[in-house]
């Protein structure tokens, strides 16, 4: 009991000292600059008789049976005052003198000791409040310091039941779920594997682009297995102080052993698992110590039975080889971008809590979103829902999904921006050039949308999607058609406006990168099937540009530049040739863009087939030649003024040809 009292006194003592210091400071601030002169009763009466007293305050003190008389004299400065103690028998004389001489300032205050409550409020309560606040403040500071000094404890968070996420919540990852299903079976029934002498993988590394569902898959494994689930980020191991990361790794595995069988999920493991001794200036001692401890815990002398580690990263190239060997991360599961079928399944999962119009077809939405990750698709539907709410609609319609797609790709539309007619015409001609090449080139992508509404940094854009979704393999002709389509905007400006602008800068950047890759990486040039540039695996921390290995001479570098330029020039000439042959279609699309600002796939097809935007009921039959076809025939026959002729006039002029 005495020990406890001593501890309490030790805890409170610093606060008492602090309160005393604060009280002294406050008293100094209030009274430290003032000068008080002590006067006797006789001296006070003499000053009153001489009319030197200007202010007078009488305060009774019942506890001392005297009166305190304070005030100022004529000769005093602003910070000077007097104080005198007067007995009760003499106080009447002072009051008479004060009344007779009619002092300007005269107060006769009440005795503060007459009210105990008032005395406590004035004198005791402020100090009590100060003590309480100091205690609370320092108590929080002490607890914070305690936590801040607890560096070596693991930052891993524990979920006892593995979470509520199941495999049903993970769509579009059928093969990936099969790869990790064995882990679940092992955690539920380990004897089945031990009977045949099988060793379950100690670690599974999930690799793939951001937003593809790596973390979600790990949560689903924990939820299906229904075992304790530790999750931590790789950056949580890294600290300023040496040895902290290794201590946290040890503590995490110590806690995991108590809860075995269990799962440990390390997100963004590249933050702590990078190659040792790489980069300029050697390695990072603290990070390498943490990695060494992680390697030891995963496959060292100690046994970690029943502990399975799942890690995720989108940079497997920077990981240390010792981390990837069998016995540590035995299995790598690539979580790639979803295909059309997988995207449809993902959209169905994210559409469960949303209300859609009856005409919404998620399959069509999935086909229009190649290259989208699961996170992109979730964001797409969320943006569509926000737009529907903004427009006061009761359900999400196709216009909202179209707008959301544009917002995800290019940013919000700048509808308030004032565009001059000349600028609108320029952008329309530019985008029509891209579209016509997409329509006419055999290996080009399919045109789905054209708009001249500014979005982001672009004045307009043409949405082109692959005709058939394939694995990441493209032919030479497809790459050349892609480059030609990118150069279509500049070629259209040069041909039909007689002027070139800065609007094609991003197109040039993309076209140049594709052309150079064809020469240096894909072996699709006159230089032969050789790879002249590749990412080096030795120095992974030098950056993408510095990390490229150069295994060719300066002469070959010149030939690479010439080959890349040749590809660009040939594609540009082909773009101009195709656009010249389809001048009428370029002008038709440009005029329609100026009028409508945005053209959908159906409207584009209507313009190509019938020469105008029309419904199916009012369009002519496909057997009748279109306006574009008639103009092409008139151009071949060299009929003068055919561009200004109506469709009926062209039919009459080409009567013999049609028949």
Residues labelled catalytic: 431
In total, the chain counts a number of residues equal to 659
Residue 654 burial (CB < 10 Å; 0-12/13-18/19+)? buried
519 close to 560: Cβ distance less than 8 angstroms: yes
CA 653 to chain centre: 62
- DSSP 8-state secondary structure symbol assigned to residue 626: P
134 close to 181: Cβ distance less than 8 angstroms: no
Provide the terminal-to-terminal Cα distance of the chain, rounded to the nearest Å.
Answer: 117
Name the phi and psi angles at 540, rounded to 5.
-80, -5
User: Distance between CA atoms of 652 and 659, rounded to whole angstroms?
Assistant: 11
Residue with tokens 């007459």: 114
Pick from 512, 644, 626: nearest CA to 567 = 512
Beta-strand relationship, 229-233 and 203-207? unpaired
Structure tokens at 399: 């216009």
Give per-residue burial for 354-391: e unless 16+ CB within 10 Å, then b: eebeeebebeebbbbbbebbbebbbbbbebbbebbeee
Helices (H), ranges, 391-459: 398-410, 421-440
Strand partners, 109: none
Sheet of 331-334, strand order = 157-159, 229-233, 262-267, 307-313, 203-207, 331-334
User: Distance between CA atoms of 362 and 580, rounded to whole angstroms?
Assistant: 39
User: Distance between CA atoms of 379 and 401, rounded to whole angstroms?
Assistant: 11
- What residue ranges in 290-392 does DSSP mark as E strands? 307-313, 331-334
22 close to 15: Cβ distance less than 8 angstroms: no
Q: Please say whether the dihedral angle defined by the alpha carbons of residues 233, 238, 240 and 243, taken in this order, is positive or negative.
A: positive
User: Distance between CA atoms of 67 and 44, rounded to whole angstroms?
Assistant: 13
Pick from 246, 313, 330: nearest CA to 274 = 313
Structure tokens at 409: 């790709």
Other C-beta atoms lying within 10 Å of the C-beta of residue 547: 16
Q: What is the helix (H) or strand (E) element at residue 38, kind and residue range? A: strand 35-39
165 close to 229: Cβ distance less than 8 angstroms: no
User: Distance between CA atoms of 650 and 98, rounded to whole angstroms?
Assistant: 122
Pick from 200, 220, 469, 475: nearest CA to 336 = 469
597 SS3 class: coil
Contacts of 48 (CB under 8 A, 6+ apart): 94, 97, 98, 101
């Amino acid at each position: 009991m005495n020990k406890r009292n001593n501890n309490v006194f030790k805890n409170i003592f610093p606060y008492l000292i602090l309160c005393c210091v604060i009280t002294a400071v406050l008293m100094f601030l209030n009274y430290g600059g003032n000068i008080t002169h002590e006067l006797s009763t006789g001296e006070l009466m003499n000053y009153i008789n001489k009319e030197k007293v200007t202010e007078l305050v009488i305060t009774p003190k019942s506890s001392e049976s005297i009166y305190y008389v304070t005030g100022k004299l004529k000769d005093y400065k602003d910070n000077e005052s007097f104080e005198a103690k007067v007995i009760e028998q003499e106080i009447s004389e002072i009051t008479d003198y004060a009344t007779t001489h009619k002092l300007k300032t005269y107060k006769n205050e009440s005795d503060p000791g007459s009210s105990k409550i008032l005395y406590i409020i004035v004198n005791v309560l402020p100090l009590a409040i100060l003590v309480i606040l100091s205690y609370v403040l320092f108590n929080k500071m002490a607890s914070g310091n305690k936590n801040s000094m607890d560096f070596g404890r693991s930052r891993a968070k524990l979920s006892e039941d593995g979470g509520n996420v199941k495999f049903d919540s993970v769509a579009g990852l059928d093969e990936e779920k099969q790869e990790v299903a064995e882990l679940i079976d092992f955690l539920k029934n380990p004897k089945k594997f031990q009977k045949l002498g099988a060793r379950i993988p100690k670690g599974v590394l999930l690799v793939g682009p951001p937003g593809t569902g790596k973390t979600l898959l790990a949560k689903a494994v924990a939820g299906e297995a229904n075992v304790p689930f530790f999750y931590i980020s790789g950056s949580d191991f890294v600290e300023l102080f040496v040895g902290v990361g290794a201590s946290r790794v040890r503590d995490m595995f110590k806690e995991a052993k108590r809860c075995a069988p269990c799962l440990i999920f390390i997100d963004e493991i590249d933050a702590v698992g990078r190659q040792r001794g790489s980069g300029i200036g050697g390695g990072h001692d603290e990070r390498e110590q943490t990695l060494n401890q992680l390697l030891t815990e995963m496959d060292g002398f100690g046994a970690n039975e029943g502990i399975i580690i799942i890690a995720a990263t989108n940079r497997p190239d920077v990981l240390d080889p010792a981390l990837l060997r069998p016995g540590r991360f035995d299995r790598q599961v690539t979580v790639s971008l979803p295909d059309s079928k997988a995207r449809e399944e993902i959209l169905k999962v994210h559409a469960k809590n949303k209300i859609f119009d009856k005409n919404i077809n998620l399959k069509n939405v999935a086909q229009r979103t190649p290259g989208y990750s699961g996170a992109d698709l979730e964001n797409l539907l969320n943006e569509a829902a926000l737009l529907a709410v903004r427009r006061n609609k009761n359900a999400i319609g196709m216009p909202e999904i179209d707008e959301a797609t544009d917002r995800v790709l290019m940013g919000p539309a700048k509808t308030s921006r004032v565009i001059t007619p000349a600028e609108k015409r320029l952008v329309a001609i530019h985008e029509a050039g891209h579209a016509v090449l997409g329509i006419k080139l055999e290996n080009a992508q399919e045109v789905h949308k054209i708009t001249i509404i500014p979005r982001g940094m672009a004045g307009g854009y043409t949405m082109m999607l692959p005709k058939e979704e394939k694995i990441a393999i493209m032919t030479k002709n497809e790459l050349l058609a892609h480059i030609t389509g990118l150069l279509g905007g500049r070629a259209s400006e040069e041909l039909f406006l007689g002027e070139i602008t800065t609007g094609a800068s991003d197109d040039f950047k993309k076209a140049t990168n594709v052309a150079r890759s064809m020469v240096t990486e894909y072996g699709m040039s006159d230089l032969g099937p050789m790879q002249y540039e590749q990412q080096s695996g030795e120095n992974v921390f030098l950056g993408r540009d510095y990390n490229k290995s150069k295994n060719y001479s300066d002469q070959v570098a010149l030939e690479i530049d010439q080959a890349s330029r040749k590809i660009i020039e040939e594609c540009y000439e082909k773009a101009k040739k195709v656009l010249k042959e389809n001048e009428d279609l370029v002008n038709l699309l440009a005029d329609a863009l100026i009028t409508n600002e945005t053209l959908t796939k159906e409207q584009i097809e209507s313009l190509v087939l019938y020469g105008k935007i029309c419904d199916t009921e009012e369009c002519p039959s496909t057997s009748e030649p279109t306006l574009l076809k008639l103009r092409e025939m008139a151009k071949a026959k060299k009929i003068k003024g055919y561009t200004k002729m109506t469709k009926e006039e062209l039919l009459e002029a080409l009567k013999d040809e049609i028949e």
